[in-house]
Amino acid sequence: MANDRGARSSRREALGRVAFAASGALAVAAVVPAARMVATPALDAKRSAQVWIRVARLDELSDGVPKRVRVVGDVADAWTVSSEEALGAVWLLRDGDEVRALAAACPHLGCSIDRAADGAGFACPCHGSSFDRDGTRRSGPSPRDMDRLPARVVGSGGERVVEVRLVRFRTGLARREALG
């Protein structure tokens, strides 16, 4: 009798383990693929690849005169792609065959930086930050200099064009931190 009860209770224990294992496997099977899928943005920190975007012909720029140009390119969002979208604006400064690009977005809060009224540099119309003609911070609430963007001149002869990479930076920080 006692043996019988012992056998029954060990069978019960074994069944219990089977039930536990099978339920656990079920939970894993249902949750893991779904969780992997949903967690993707947290797991993959990959930054969107920055592309060179053509913004102007070199001969449109004169030495020492900053020119504001629109950056127009394709925008990919999830499965969609829209072409010829206005992505932003940059200031271009030509110095002979070299071109420097400064983001038009103010490092303070992202307003659009204009030329200073005295013509000797840049100024942000929102909160009055002002910058030298090379983008160095002069006064106002901006925590840093204007953001310099990668720029290059490609082509040869009269067909030389200016290309930039439109990197966006976090605003309000003294440190320059690129947004993904």
Partner 1 sequence: MTVGDWLDRRTGFRRLRDAILDEPIPGGARLAYVFGGVLVAALALEAITGVALMTVYAPSATTAWGSVVHLERAVPGGWLVRGLHHFGAQAMVVTLALHLAQVALYGAYKSPREVTWWLGVALLFATLGFALTGALLPWDANGYWATRVATNLVGAVPLVGPPTQRLLQGGSSFGTLTLTRFYTLHVAVLPALVATLLAAHVALFRRHGVTPPPGADLRRHDRYAPAQLARDALCALAVVAVVFALALRAHGAPLDAPADPATLYPARPAWYFRALFELVERFDGPLAPLVATLLPALATLYLLALPLLDRAPTRALRPRLPLLAPLGAGALAIGVLTAASIVADRRDAQLQKTLALASNRAEAALALAAHGIPLDGPLAMLRRDPETRGAALFERHCANCHRLGNLGPNPERQKAPDLTGWGTREFVLAMLDDPDADGRFGKTPYRGAMPSFVRPPSDPVRAKAWKPLSDDERDAIATFLAAEGDEPYDPSHHAAAAKLVAARCTSCHLFRGRTDDDDALGPELSGWGSVAWIRAQIANPGTKATYREAALADGREGHMPRFDDELDKRDLDLLARWVFRHARGSRLDDSIAGR
| Binding residues vs partner 1 (CB under 8 A) | 12, 15-16, 18-19, 22-23, 25-26, 29-31, 33-38, 40, 44, 74, 76, 78-83
CB of 65 to partner 1, least distance (A): 37
CB of 180 to partner 1, least distance (A): 17
Give CA 94 to chain center in angstroms.
Answer: 26
CB of 35 to partner 1, least distance (A): 8
Nearer to partner 1 by Cβ, of 39 and 179: the residue is 39
Rounded CA-CA distance 171/166 in Å is 15
Nearer to partner 1 by Cβ, of 9 and 136: the residue is 9
Rounded CA-CA distance 143/141 in Å is 6
Rounded CA-CA distance 95/77 in Å is 36
Rounded CA-CA distance 165/99 in Å is 13
Nearer to partner 1 by Cβ, of 25 and 120: the residue is 25
Nearer to partner 1 by Cβ, of 46 and 175: the residue is 46
CB of 58 to partner 1, least distance (A): 31
Place of tokens 């540099």: 121
Nearer to partner 1 by Cβ, of 29 and 120: the residue is 29
Q: What are phi and psi of 80, to 5 degrees?
A: -95, 155
15: helix, coil or strand?
helix
CB of 61 to partner 1, least distance (A): 32
Rounded CA-CA distance 101/67 in Å is 10
